[in-house]
Amino acid sequence: MELIESPSDLRAALRGAGSVGFVPTMGYLHDGHASLVARARAENDRVVVSVFVNPLQFGPGEDLARYPRDLDRDRRVAAGAGADLLFVPHPEALYPAGFATRVEVGGPSEGLEGASRPGHFSGVATVVLKLLNLVSPTRAYFGEKDWQQLAVVRRVVRDLNVPVEIVGCPTVREESGLARSSRNSYLTGEQQTRAAVLARALRAAQDAHARGAGRAESILGAAREVLATEREVQLDYLALVDALDLTPLDAVTDPASARLLVAARLFGVRLIDNMPLVPEPQGASGLPTRQPGGTA
């Protein structure tokens, strides 16, 4: 696997590459990232993984400075999963002196993470668009753990006519149910096990709906009961939303297009998780058949 740092070298390496699969990451790769790379390897001629801790998506007081970084680990995981190129740009390569352009996204970026982390999705959209322009991939792969981010990226690609297929891939979880995340490295083993309360809460909400609950108050109430069993949970939000546009739902009319999302701080670490309201077969994508814009 080749490591590339400059955009010009990246373009040269991909010239005439055929189909290109792209996995953008902030590094500290784990099995969740590896699953994205493996999917890209199976569906494309060449696979590019980027590692870039994007300062634009971190707000004041967030963990930009201490975000875990380990390039040797990233190289091993990416190569082991089948990547051909590891793109590790320096910040000045993406944000040169005088950089003054940002992408602002409405719709799915509003509320939830958008409300809790002002400017976050503008930073995400800006760096993703820059990376898509540099790599020009056939397909780009994103984990469904960051569901709102996936929705925002899909909206950017649709609204700005970016010629790429965005592929959402199922969340990879620990045996406890905790969603894999680079930020899990901030937690001890015991803390990670206790943090799986987020996944248990979402499953309790799924169970409540399966038993006949149809209003958000009842569905989310079941999740809150589970969250209340862990004293370390400092809940940011718990929501039942439309899976595509992220608008809150008061009642469920189309269960297949409803999504449960949660964010909370546990042991000083902010974690997020999400699940479809109706459990999907293991390994299946949670993307509804309805597409952005209301088409089937």
Task: State the catalytic residues.
Answer: 33
Helices 120-135 and 7-14 meet at what angle, rounded to 10?
50
Query: Cβ of 282: how many Cβ atoms within 10 Å?
Result: 6
What the block records as the tokens of 20 is: 């290109």
175: helix, coil or strand? coil
Rounded Cα distance, 64 and 56, in Å: 10
What the block records as the tokens of 74 is: 């990233």
Can you name the residues that pair with 271 across neighbouring β-strands?
A: 264
69: helix, coil or strand? coil
Rounded Cα distance, 179 and 68, in Å: 17
The one-character DSSP state at 231 is T
Pairing of strands 46-51, 269-276: unpaired
Rounded Cα distance, 74 and 111, in Å: 32
Cβ–Cβ under 8 Å, residues 107 and 129:
no
The angle at the Cα of 182, spanning 180 to 183, to the nearest 5 degrees, equals 100
